[in-house]
């Protein structure tokens, strides 16, 4: 069963967490990420994950580097796995949390592993604004649903299914932000109130872009 929340992660798994470094993919909490695994080292990693906690991190590579990763990663579990006859895998990861890379472990396997710690996605220096910002975000998502050609009802269901304002902001970003660098910036925004602000701005801009002239109000 896929893990959907940070508190469900096995602490032991974070002490030896496999990482999948990629140049253009970011796993956000509350989101899903399809992956095509074809390199032998990552096939090995996938088999080890499936045999263990089914947990891995997706780390965005820094621009121009094939090795250096950003220090904040998305961690999730394998929700769906399909091994092809030639040994490749199709996976779907379910994002559970953001983690900080504390240490990269010695490379005694074909793939990389880290020791990581959970970043508290619900922490904020502005707790007094969470409720009002959450209501504003929900209202904007309702407006967006009305102008979307497809997926409006699913968006409304998604945001209302989240257990907290912080999780709602994450789910909105996971669903609507596509550019890897923008997704990474959102992943690195650790203050929940700041993420709500960013999500409100994002949805508000999309609503304005999709609303026909003369119907903005």
Looking at residue 215, its pLDDT comes to 59
Looking at residue 1, its pLDDT comes to 43
Looking at residue 5, its pLDDT comes to 64
Query: 6-119: which CATH architecture?
Result: Roll (2.30)
In order, the DSSP letters of 37-79 are: E-SHHHHHHHHHHHHTT-EEEEEEBPTT-SS-B-SEEEEEEEE
| Entry field: residues in the chain | 217
Domain residues of the chain, as ranges?
Answer: 6-119, 127-210
Looking at residue 12, its pLDDT comes to 84
> What sign results for the dihedral spanned by CA atoms 50, 52, 58, 62?
negative
Looking at residue 149, its pLDDT comes to 86
Residue closest to 24 by CA, chosen among 197, 212, 183, 202: 183
Fold classified for 127-210: Methane Monooxygenase Hydroxylase; Chain G, domain 1 (1.20.58)
Looking at residue 211, its pLDDT comes to 86
Tens of pLDDT, residue by residue, the chain (217 residues): 454 566 667 788 899 999 999 999 999 999 999 999 999 999 999 999 999 999 999 999 999 999 999 999 999 999 999 999 999 999 999 999 999 999 999 988 999 999 999 999 999 999 999 999 999 999 999 999 999 988 899 999 999 999 999 999 999 999 999 999 999 999 999 999 999 999 999 999 999 999 876 555 5
pTM above threshold 0.75: yes
Rounded (to 5) percent helix, strand, coil in the chain: 40, 25, 35
Structure-token match 């974070």, residue found: 14
């Amino acid at each position: 069963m896929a893990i959907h929340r940070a508190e469900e992660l096995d602490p032991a798994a974070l002490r030896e967490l496999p990482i999948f470094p990629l140049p253009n993919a970011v796993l956000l909490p509350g989101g899903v990420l399809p992956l095509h695994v074809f390199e032998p080292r990552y096939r090995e990693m996938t088999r080890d994950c499936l045999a263990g906690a089914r947990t891995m991190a997706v780390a965005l590579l820094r621009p121009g580097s094939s090795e250096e990763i950003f220090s904040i990663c998305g961690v999730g579990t394998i929700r769906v796995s399909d091994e092809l006859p030639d040994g490749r895998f199709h996976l779907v990861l379910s994002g559970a949390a953001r983690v900080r890379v504390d240490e990269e472990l010695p490379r005694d396997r074909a793939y990389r592993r880290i020791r990581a710690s959970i970043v508290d996605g619900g922490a904020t220096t502005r707790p007094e604004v969470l409720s009002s910002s959450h209501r504003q975000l929900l209202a904007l998502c309702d407006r967006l649903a009305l102008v979307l050609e497809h997926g409006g009802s699913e968006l409304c269901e998604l945001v209302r299914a989240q257990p907290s304002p912080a999780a709602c902001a994450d789910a909105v970003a996971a669903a609507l932000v596509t550019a890897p660098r923008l997704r990474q910036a959102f992943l690195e925004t650790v203050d929940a109130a700041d993420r709500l602000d960013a999500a409100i701005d994002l949805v508000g801009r999309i609503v304005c872009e999709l609303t026909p002239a003369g119907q903005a109000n």
